[in-house]
Structure formats: C-alpha cells, structure tokens
Amino acid sequence: MSAEPTNPDIAIDAEFDSGNIEIIRIEGATAHLAIPADHRSEFRQWFHFRVTGAGGRELVLKIGDLGTSAYPEGWPGYRACVSEDRDFWGRAETTYDKAENGGTLTIRHTPASDVAWFAYFAPYSMERHHDLVAEAAASDGVSYRHLGRTLDGQPIDCLEMGEGTVQVWLYARQHPGESMAEWWMEGAIECLTDPADPVARALRQKCRFHVVPNMNPDGSRRGHLRTNAVGTNLNREWHEPTPEKSPEVLAVRTAMDATGVDFAMDVHGDEAIPAVFLAGFEGIPSWTDALGEKFYRFERILARRTPDFQTAKGYPKSKPGTANLSMSTNQLAERFGACSMTLEMPFKDNDDLPDPDQGWSPERSKMLARDCLASLLEWLDDKDA
C-alpha cells in the first residue's frame, strides 16, 4: 500500500454563483492563477474561488497578468477578502508586484480548516438577494414590482414603499462585481422596513421609495466585474437602452419615466480610491447652480453624519456641457431635474478610518446605508434652507 503524500496539492474550485478564476498550475499549497474576462468583454478584475485541502498549511496564491486588468491601479495597497465560514470576511496578507509575471497579486493565508474562500470583495449571492427581496416584500407597507427580465431570463426586482410624494430611486450593482453595493442595499432595506426605526418612519411619510437591489443579476451570477450577459456596461446605456444589449436599464428607466425621479442614488464600488465619496452631475446641459447646490448640500450633510464619508478624494468634475449622458446619474439629472448621485465605496479600505481586520466590509456598507438615509431625511427637512 502506498503512503499518502505528505504535501498533497490543494484543490481550487469556482463553478458556483459569482465564481471566477483560472487555474494555471498548482504545486502543493501554492497556486498560480489568472482572472478570466467578463463574457464578450475585456473587463478583468473580479475573482471568487474556494480552496480545499490546506488546513494548517500556508497558502500562497499568485494571480498574474494583472497589469492588463481593468483597473491595475486597484492592486497596490489592496488585500484580498477571505472567509472560512462564508459569514465573516476578513482580509488576507496580500502584496502586489507589478514587475512579476505582468503584475502579480500574492495572497498568503493559513486557514484553520480545510475549506477557505477568497474573493475580490465579500460576495453577495443571488440566493441571498432572493432572501432579501422575499423578506422585504413580506413586510408591512412594501409592494413588489417585476420590472422585466435579463438576457439570461432572471427577474429585475423592485421594492416599493412609502406614502409620500417625493419620488426616491435607489439602485445598485449596475457593475455586478461591486458587491458592496448590495450589502449597502441590505442595510437600506433593513432600515426602511423596520417599523421601530424613526428615520424610516419619517422617510416613508415623506417619500415613495423605489428600490432595485441588483440591476445586473446575470453579471452577478456569472462572476463578472462590470458587464451583463452580453458584455454590456449598463452604466453607459442610459441615453438609449435596448432590449438586445441592456434590457435591465430599459426596464428601470421605463419605470422611472412612469413615476418621475426627485432624488436618486446609484450605488457602486471603486477599485482604486481608498475612500467613500459621491459623484454628482456637473456638466449636464441643463445644469443650474440651484440644482447643483441640492447635491452639494446632501454631500455636506453626509460628511457631517459619518466619519466614513469624505469629500477631498473622488472623481474630477465634468466641465460645463461635457457630462456623459449615457451614465445614469447624469441622465437622471438631465431627464428629470433630479438630485441624482453616484455613491462609491472602496474595494480596499477607508484610509481615513482603516480597519486592519476587514478593510472596507459588508458591515460598514450596511451602516453607511442608514447614514445615507438619515442624511436624506435631514436634506428633505432642510430643503428650503
């Protein structure tokens, strides 16, 4: 009888909801890996895979050729997410060497058990999405709307609540790999459906909420970073969405046309900037200082309410008349005169308030959602100021 090998090879799997990795080779507890691109697209950044057989051994996971990934500036200072129970997601020891094999991310971790999961950010599965929708739809005062179907045939879910006249649209995961956006949505929905929450009670008196927790179910399930089933970046489709390329945007924009939009927040994650920030709609053709001040006032309120938000870091503002109307925030401000905005959370950490164990996390994403809603309430109460 032959003896068991003393250092057997680990096994790596990614054939599951949002899984994405390519195995180059495995040598004991060391693996050389690559990130496949989104289907019919060149975007490469999201990874999510399971490692088995490494309990008590140091894993060395090398993901190469990242200099040509979608956002190579996202790798310096980044630490990979790791979990052994798929509930708590911490951060693994991670380094990036742009000179090694076209840019290599090296992840080192010694799991206590034989099963460990690694991801670009803590995943938000479609099963959890359906649990979120089901629980919210069963809450008092919440109605469910089926806005349409994706190209893979998945539903585009919308939750509605509130008796007020202010039309508020909250939507997330146009870019499916930005899973922190749906963790934010979970926090927002838990707040809005809590009958004991005074912020929620006051907001539901003033507003009618339309909440789309996941605008890109196909990309989410397929393990894409940025696109849907046919490689379309949904946040470049808002000027003229089509059933063939972007039925998700077409369904949501059509529903918005029916209700109007007074306030909108498009929830995202940013690969490179280690901070939470907002992007507005500067540069739209119909820009007025009065409309812009509505956005800037919300920004000031949020900065005062939570140290997790700041205004020093962010995207450059568009010059007058140069706004890209294919992006939702610009399109909604132009189309409806809405106070619209894009919320960005980091894949890395919030460098102004770092967390050595988790970096930016699902828990902080959820807490930020309540701060955003409390800021909205203050913004509404002070709208004539």
Is 334 part of the annotated catalytic residue set? no
Catalytic: which of 58, 344, 363, 378? 344
90-116 residues labelled b (16+ CB within 10 A) or e (exposed): bbbebebeeeebebbbbbebebeeebb
Amino acid at residue number 226: R
What is the distance between the alpha carbons of residues 14 and 221, in angstroms, rounded to a whole number? 12
| CA-CA-CA-CA torsion sign (322, 327, 330, 331) | positive
CA 107 vs CA 113, 119, 329: distances in Å: 17, 11, 36
Cα separation, 263 vs 30, whole angstroms: 49
Running DSSP on this structure, what letter comes out for residue 280? -
Question: Of 263, 109, 83, 93, which is closest to residue 179 (Cα–Cα)?
Answer: 83
The closest of 201, 206, 209, 199 to 169, measured between CA atoms, is 209
Distinct helix (H) and strand (E) counts, the chain: 8, 17
Please identify every residue annotated as catalytic: 344
